[in-house]
């Protein structure tokens, strides 16, 4: 009986080694069990659950060897199970004398699994010399960023495309974790020329971003050049992900590491890079810099939108950071920590293998000529950039008729408008004083960034002169929060839109905003920050508040927004915050904000909260409310004055212009300092 079983099992085993498919996507070896106890069990279900993502659920072939590399068919053992659907089992009790050997197994997987995340084909070597070496460590050096550090499967083919399987060939290395090597001396008639490709974990094929270059060491110290990940993570906190997917090394002058002739001790994304002088056969290591690709979850922590400011006509496709800051003000940080580039149809474009003139988070991207496609870029910014930022009012300190141009430099503005601008803005936006975005004027800027401000020099304009510009800034959380009101959400987007204007807010919530705001923050009510640029908002200004008009939106509907203000830190404001002291909160008359139109759906608030005089506002009228001001009366009490004009033609409702007022009690108001 047992010899019958033996015959069947061996026949099955031999047939499974030969796959009818010409696929050759082969996993690494797995050794789950050892032969102690009942025997050696390498069952597929166990292996799939203990090695998640590393084995296809439906292999088309299986191969078993002893852990020292002897094919299973040569051990004399009888196998209980040996097929790709169930896996492998050798039961000690079935063996004639002695027990089972210790086995490892690997699988051939079907095309659909292999192709989920596959690298290109690589052919870095040819069989001249000792043989054809397509090992993973050498491929990582020759094709940086293009291979994952821990592939889950490998395919090998001759360069003419014939798949080559490991079984029956005497290859020195054939394994996804090590790559492939064919040694001439081990082959009858020498090696052919092979190419390899790898199947990578899914995370490798998700979007990934590329860091800037880091150069922490040079070859004159410590016997070589080390750019190890642990060291770089400590030296540049927040600028590199903990678990890079790829690494690229170049000399500081930009030569790819694979062309220097140096031999590397370490060159992989988990450990980093190291070149040791003593290993260079008399020479020394070059001075290297390294950069990394990082996984989606790190890139996406604080990411800009995609930008596509140029197309490849003309000299090429220029998506450089300095031009993007002008074209998309406030939306890019000044010092991005990573960049992603894809074609506009979404195909990722990695730097190696593509000759791009610029590809760096600190400089952006440029493809110069030849056959550039149309690319888009986005950046990963430091986390501070994605925390709430407040937006200042516009400043216009200069005009183009004096001093040969229009300069709105930060240092000058800071001295003129002390306390109205943070010393370290995160973003800057420039427009002409009539509201045209700076990038549309055709002017060339000497400076345009949040650290310097803007400067337009007449002499650089090719005959024309500079427009008259105004600038505003976004400021960091710590500045905005020094003296900040609570959030206001007085309207929702039904009707004409979401009106959170300052005049209306003063009426609805008179207390906190009677002081003069110096900055404004806007978020959706679900707390997603929104900037004035890149959105089509009618009003976004600390002196006027915020307005989103439904008709002006792409989808025809505004979201529901809330606003808060940063107030000038003044004696009055801080006294006001400590209202328990009973002191008067403000001694100044506040400058009126500009006029705003109130659609009639504001009438409820109007009626309840403001004016006894307007008892029956018309249902189809609009009211123009303007020049609201706060005036201090006595302790904790103030008066709000506004001008109201009825915009409809209904004659019976209101006098055309009404001064209105209301007493406001300031006790118990919340304000943060
Ligand atoms: C800002 O612009 C000035 C003038 O063009 C330049 O010197 C400076 O390096 C720029 N700063 C940054 C962070 O790009």
The 10s digit of each residue's pLDDT in 476-491 is: 999 998 888 888 898 8
452 CB near ligand 1 (under 6 Å): yes
Residue 399 backbone class (left: φ over 0; alpha: ψ -120 to 50; beta: rest):
beta
What is the Cα–Cα distance from 541 to 483, expressed in whole angstroms? 17
Q: Which of 167, 170, 168 is closest to 186 using CA atoms?
A: 170
pLDDT tens-digit profile of 630-664?
A: 555 444 445 556 666 555 544 434 443 444 444 44
Indicate the number of domains in the chain. 6
**264 and 215 in a common domain:** yes
Q: Is the CB of 333 under 6 A from ligand 1?
A: no
Tell me whether residue 191 is exposed, middle or buried, using C-beta atoms within 10 angstroms of its C-beta: 0 to 12, 13 to 18, 19 or more. Answer: buried
Mean pLDDT computed over 533-559: 91
107 and 135 inside one domain: no
Please tell me if the CB atom of residue 363 comes closer than 6 angstroms to any atom of ligand 1. no
Same domain? For 623 and 561 the reply is yes
- Answer yes or no: is pLDDT of 19 > 80: no
Is the pLDDT confidence value at 588 over 50?
no
Structure tokens at 116: 């989920």
Query: Is the pLDDT assigned to residue 590 strictly greater than 80?
Result: no
pLDDT of residue 222: 87
Q: What is the pLDDT of residue 660?
A: 46
**Ligand 1 neighbourhood includes 449 CB (under 6 angstroms):** yes
Q: Which of 120, 84, 124, 105 is nearest to 166 (CA)?
A: 105
Last residue of a domain, one of 385, 420, 435: 385
Confidence bin at 409 (pLDDT 50/70/90): very high
238 in any annotated domain: yes
| Same domain flag for 507 and 601 | yes
For residue 613, what pLDDT is reported?
Answer: 36
C-alpha 448 to ligand 1 mean position (Å): 8
Predicted structure pTM score:
0.76
- Residue 162 belongs to a domain: yes
- Among the candidates 475, 506, 528, a domain finishes at 475
Same domain flag for 134 and 47: no
More confident call, 515 vs 621: 515
Put the strands of the sheet holding 596-598 in their side by side order. 596-598, 623-634, 637-646, 658-665
Q: Is residue 593 helix, strand or coil? A: coil
Mean per-residue pLDDT of the chain:
83
**Contacts of range 368-373, beta carbons closer than 8 Å, 24 or more positions apart:** 368/315, 368/316, 369/315, 369/316, 372/312, 372/316, 372/317, 373/312, 373/317, 373/343, 373/344, 373/349
Query: What confidence score (pLDDT) does residue 348 get?
Result: 87
pLDDT computed for residue 584 by the predictor: 31
Split at pLDDT 50, 70, 90, the class of 423 is very high
Is the domain of 535 the same as that of 509?
A: yes
Q: How far apart are CA 139 and CA 127, in angstroms?
A: 16
Test site for ligand 1: of 451, 453, 455, 457, most ligand atoms within 8 A of the Cβ: 451
Answer yes or no: is pLDDT of 11 > 60.
no
Residue 181 domain-assigned?
yes
Res 534: pLDDT: 83
Centre of ligand 1 from the C-alpha of residue 234, in Å: 27
Q: Whose CA is nearest to atom 8 of ligand 1?
A: 452
Ligand 1 mean position, distance from CA 452 (Å): 6
Q: Which residues contact 74 (CB under 8 A, 6 or more apart)?
A: none
| Same domain? 516 vs 656 | yes
Whether residue 506 is found in the same domain as residue 603: yes
Using the atom order of ligand 1, give the atom closest to the CA of residue 450: 1
Q: What is the pLDDT of residue 384?
A: 86
| Ligand 1 contacts CB of residue 424 (under 6 A) | no
Report CA(356)–ligand 1 centroid distance (Å): 23
Residue 13 pLDDT greater than 50, yes or no: no
Q: How far does residue 673's CA lie from ligand 1's centre (Å)?
A: 33
Partners of 330 in the β-ladder: none
Lowest mean pLDDT among 22-31, 550-559, 633-642: 633-642
Q: Which residue has the higher pLDDT, 598 or 440?
A: 440
Contacts of 282 (CB under 8 A, 6+ apart): none
Interior angle at CA 372, CA 368 and CA 375, nearest 5: 100
Beginning with the edge strand found earlier in the chain, give each strand of the sheet holding 427-432 in spatial order: 427-432, 469-475, 390-392, 517-524, 561-567
| Position in ligand 1 atom list of the atom nearest CA 448 | 2
Please report whether residue 83 resides in a domain.
yes
Q: Rounded to whole angstroms, how far apart are CA atoms 630 and 591?
A: 9
- Whether residue 417 has pLDDT greater than 60: yes
Whether ligand 1 lies within 6 angstroms of the CB of 447 is answered as: yes
Asked if 57 and 27 sit in the same domain, the reply is yes
* d(CA 334, ligand 1 centre) in Å: 9
- Average confidence (pLDDT) over 338-351: 91
Q: What is the pLDDT of residues 126-156, one digit of tens each?
A: 999 999 999 999 999 999 999 999 999 999 9
Pocket test for ligand 1, best of 452, 456, 457 (most atoms within 8 A of CB): 452
Strand-strand pairing, 539-541 and 469-475: unpaired
Edge-to-edge strand order for the sheet containing 208-211? 246-251, 288-295, 208-211, 338-343, 375-380
- Distance (angstroms) between ligand 1 centre and the Cα of 427 equals 13
In a domain, 485, yes or no: no
CA 231–ligand 1 middle distance (angstroms): 29
- Is the CB–ligand 1 distance for residue 409 below 6 Å? no
Does the residue 672 lie in any domain? Answer: no
Which of 322, 409, 426, 447 most suits a substitution to test ligand 1, by most atoms within 8 Å of the C-beta? 447
Which of 115, 130, 163 is the endpoint of a domain? 115
Note whether 68 and 55 are same-domain residues.
yes
The answer to whether residues 214 and 198 belong to one domain is no
DSSP result, 481-499: TTSB---B----SSTTEEE
Confidence of residue 627 (pLDDT cuts 50, 70, 90): low
- Can you give the pLDDT at residue 629? 60
Inter-residue contact 600 to 624 (CB < 8 Å): no
Q: In angstroms, rounded to a whole number, what is the distance separating the alpha carbons of residues 500 and 479?
A: 23
Partner residues linked to 126 by β-bridges: none
Together in a domain, 379 and 421? no
CB 457 within 8 A of CB 380: no
Asked whether the predicted pLDDT for residue 389 surpasses 80, the reply is yes
**Residue 670, domain member (yes or no):** no
Q: Which residue's CA lies nearest to atom 11 of ligand 1?
A: 451
Q: Is the pLDDT of residue 196 over 60?
A: yes
Residue 315 falls within a domain, yes or no?
A: yes
Q: How many whole angstroms from 270 Cα to the centroid of ligand 1?
A: 34
Task: Say how many Å lie between the CA of residue 412 and the centre of ligand 1.
Answer: 16
Atom 5 (ligand 1) nearest CA: 447
Range of the domain at 359: 303-385
How far does residue 332's CA lie from ligand 1's centre (Å)? 15
Is any atom of ligand 1 closer than 6 Å to the C-beta of 326?
Answer: no
Across the range 619-623, mean pLDDT stands at 51
């Amino acid at each position: 009986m047992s010899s019958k079983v033996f015959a069947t099992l061996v026949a099955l085993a031999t047939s499974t080694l030969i796959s009818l498919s010409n696929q050759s996507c082969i996993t690494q070896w797995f050794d789950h069990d050892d032969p102690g106890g009942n025997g050696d069990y390498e069952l597929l279900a166990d292996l799939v659950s203990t090695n998640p993502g590393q084995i296809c659920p439906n292999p088309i072939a299986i191969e078993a060897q002893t852990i020292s590399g002897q094919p299973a068919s040569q051990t004399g053992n009888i196998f209980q199970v040996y097929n790709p659907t169930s896996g492998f089992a050798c039961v000690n009790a079935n063996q004639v004398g002695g027990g089972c050997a210790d086995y490892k197994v690997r699988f051939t997987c079907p095309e659909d699994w292999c192709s989920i995340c596959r690298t290109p084909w690589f052919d870095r070597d040819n069989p001249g010399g000792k043989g054809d070496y397509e090992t993973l460590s050498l491929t990582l050096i020759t094709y940086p960023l293009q291979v994952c550090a821990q592939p889950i499967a490998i395919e090998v083919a001759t360069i003419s495309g014939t798949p080559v399987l490991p079984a029956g060939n005497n290859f020195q290395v054939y394994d996804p974790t090590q790559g492939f090597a064919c040694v001439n001396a081990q082959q009858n008639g020498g090696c052919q020329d092979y190419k390899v490709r790898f199947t990578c974990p899914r995370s490798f094929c998700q979007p990934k971003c590329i860091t800037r270059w880091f150069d922490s060491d040079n070859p004159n110290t410590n016997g070589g050049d080390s750019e190890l990940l642990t060291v770089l993570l400590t030296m540049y906190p927040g600028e590199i992900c903990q678990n890079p997917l790829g690494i690229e090394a170049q000399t500081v002058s930009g030569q790819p590491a694979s062309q220097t002739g140096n031999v590397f001790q370490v060159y992989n994304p988990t450990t980093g890079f190291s070149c040791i002088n003593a290993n260079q056969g008399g020479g020394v290591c070059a001075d290297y810099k390294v950069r990394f690709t990082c996984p989606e979850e790190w890139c996406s922590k604080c990411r800009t939108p995609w930008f596509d400011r140029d197309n490849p006509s003309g000299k090429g496709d220029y998506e450089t950071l300095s031009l993007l800051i002008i074209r998309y003000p406030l939306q890019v940080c000044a010092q991005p920590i990573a960049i992603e580039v894809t074609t506009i149809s979404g195909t990722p474009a990695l730097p190696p293998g593509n000759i791009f003139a610029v590809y760096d988070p600190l400089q952006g991207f440029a493809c110069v000529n030849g056959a550039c496609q149309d690319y888009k870029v986005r950046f990963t910014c430091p986390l501070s950039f994605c925390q709430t930022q407040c937006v200042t009012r516009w400043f216009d300190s200069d005009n183009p008729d004096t001093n040969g141009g229009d300069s709105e430099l930060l240092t000058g503005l800071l001295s003129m408008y002390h306390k109205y601008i943070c010393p370290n803005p995160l973003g800057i936006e420039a427009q002409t004083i009539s509201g045209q975005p700076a990038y549309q004027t055709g002017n060339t800027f000497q400076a345009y960034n949040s650290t310097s401000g803007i400067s337009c020099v007449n002499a650089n304009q090719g005959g024309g002169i500079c427009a008259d510009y105004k600038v505003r800034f976004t400021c960091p959380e710590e500045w905005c929060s020094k003296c900040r009101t609570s959030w206001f959400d007085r309207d929702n987007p039904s009707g004409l839109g979401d009106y959170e204007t300052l005049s209306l807010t003063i009426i609805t919530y008179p207390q906190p905003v009677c002081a003069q705001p110096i900055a404004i923050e806007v978020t959706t009510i679900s707390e997603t920050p929104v900037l004035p640029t890149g959105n089509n908002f009618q009003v976004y200004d600390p002196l006027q508040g915020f307005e989103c008009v439904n008709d002006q939106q792409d989808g025809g509907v505004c979201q529901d927004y809330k606003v808060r203000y940063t107030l000038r830190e003044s004696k009055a404001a801080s006294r006001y915050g400590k209202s328990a002291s009973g002191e008067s909160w403000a001694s100044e008359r506040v400058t009126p904000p500009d006029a705003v139109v109130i659609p009639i759906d504001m009438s409820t608030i109007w009626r309840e909260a403001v004016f006894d005089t307007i008892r029956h506002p018309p249902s189809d009228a609009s009211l123009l409310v303007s020049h609201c001001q706060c005036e201090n009366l006595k302790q904790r009490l103030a008066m709000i004055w506004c001008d109201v004009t009825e915009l409809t033609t209904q004659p019976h409702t209101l006098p055309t212009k009404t001064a209105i007022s209301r007493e406001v009690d300031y006790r118990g108001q919340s304000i943060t300092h």
